[in-house]
Structure 1
Amino acid sequence: MALVAEYELQCADFPLVNVARNVPEATIEVELQFNHGDQPPFIVYVMHAPDEAVEQAFESSPFVGEYTLVGHAGETYRYRVLPAVGLEAQLGDQIEDLDGLRALAEADAVVERIRVTSRGWVQEAWFADRDAFDEFRTFWQSNCGFELRRLTKDGEPKQPGDGLTDPQREALRTAYEMGHFEVPRSASLSEVADELGITPSAVSERLRRAQTHIVETTVASTWPKLPDKY
């Protein structure tokens, strides 16, 4: 039975992790073009952060050799990033079993989504069976930090809230625990922003997007259509 997993790989040396650390308000997702040799280019999607801050972080990253802005829509910027170093130079100090890492590329698994955080990568992947997943998990538990977030059979629906970014989850949790959603509120948006170390506008945006996503994935699909006057 095929499985779908969401998990976090905690490795500070992963590509672009230092960019996520230097631009904490950004949501960063990547696609790897593996058919381009030992140093495949990355397609990098950056959301909710000014392009100037992102490009400054690219400039200071030892992983980024060249980068090109290939387009943007709204708050999402799309870059093509060429690595400055290969796999061994990038991960050699962190992961000893590079041959095992290369072998994972031939496993019965497909990584469908990669999100870069300040601690590593959060991935969503499809595995052909439990053995393929266990091989993957065992490797990363031995060579890095591995935290499983979700494991379901292929075809099962996601739980409500799946799909939130880490910054959105953090903003929701902090706002909730500080009493921002209580009536009356015991914490203002500015106080939540101070706790997170970001601007009130950034907190507002994260909460709005998170709340919209939760509504869309829970009750919105069951509502009848509103009258035309709305």
Structure 2
Amino acid sequence: MGLLAQFDIYCDALPLVGVARELPDATVLFEFQFNHGNPPLFIITVTDGTRTAIEAALTAAVDIDEWMLIGEAGSTRRYQATPALTFEEQLGDHIDNPAGLKSLAAVEAVIERIEVTKEGWRQSGWFANRDAFTEFSLFWQQNGGFRLHRLTQNGASEPPGDGLSDRQREALRIAYENGFFQIPRRTSLKEVAAELDISASSVSERLRRAQTQLIEETVATTWPSLPE
């Protein structure tokens, strides 16, 4: 594969977006288990958040028929879930070109990671060439929303943090300069929010997403896998 891409797809009808909204303090990762029937099963990995909140969100999810816990390590839990709808059924009424989903599946790409957000999916993966990436991104630009964070050819490396948005970078800078990350802290979340002129909850989410992005680019690939 020739291009490594990281991007956001904005579509609140995508699987598990409702679950992510119910778990604002957790990181929700998602993958298809293609060798287990049609539609394929979901594998859902959740880091942080209480088990009670996670499992309540899974139970209430309209796109999950049933689920089971299959692994646990520290604050990370992994679930296997049976989808209640096919991908086409779930998205058909929410995108302008549902027929295009089949052609999208034929794009020469390997998606390595899907993080579910409250607005859609953040994905990273490999594309065979520029044409394959253009076909994929154009579909989502026309049928939801698409934001490219990083596009690297032939695996060329980039400095950590290149996937941060300008707002995330600004929030990190101000929090750092004011001593928010020092031990003990020299400032509060409320004071950082006041300088950014946003709410404390907004700056908390912005910092969390920025930190998640940096972790993904630096140490996430060294994490041990969950026990079988």
TM-score by length of 1: 0.77
Distance change in 2, residues 1:155/1:188 (3 Å): same
SS at match of 1:98: coil
In structure 2, the partner of 1:114 is 114
Structure 2: which 5+ residue stretches go unaligned? 194-198, 220-228
CA offsets 1:164-202 (integer angstroms, 9 cap, x no match): 8x9xx85x754544x553269874146559702699xx9
Equivalent residues of 1:44, 1:81 under 8 A apart: yes
% identical equivalent positions: 43
Question: Counterpart amino acid of 1:182?
Answer: N
Distance in 1, matches of 2:190 and 2:145, equals: 34
Distance in 2, matches of 1:182 and 1:125, equals: 36
CA offsets 1:113-164 (integer angstroms, 9 cap, x no match): 1000000000001111111111111111111101111111022013312688
Distance change in 2, residues 1:215/1:6 (3 Å): closer
Equivalent residues of 2:31, 2:42 under 8 A apart: yes
Distance in 2, matches of 1:106 and 1:55, equals: 34
Question: Counterpart amino acid of 2:9?
Answer: L
Q: Cα offset for 1:70?
A: 0.5
Distance in 2, matches of 1:211 and 1:146, equals: 17
In structure 1, the partner of 2:200 is 195
Distance in 2, matches of 1:54 and 1:142, equals: 32
Q: How many aligned residue pairs are there?
A: 209
CA offsets 1:75-114 (integer angstroms, 9 cap, x no match): 1100001111222321111124233212222221111110
In structure 2, the partner of 1:181 is 177
TM-score by length of 2: 0.77
Distance change in 2, residues 1:80/1:127 (3 Å): same
Equivalent residues of 1:6, 1:150 under 8 A apart: yes
Distance in 2, matches of 1:72 and 1:122, equals: 23
Map 1:56-135 to 2 at 5 A.
56-135=56-135
Distance change in 2, residues 1:146/1:44 (3 Å): same
Q: Cα offset for 1:60?
A: 1.4
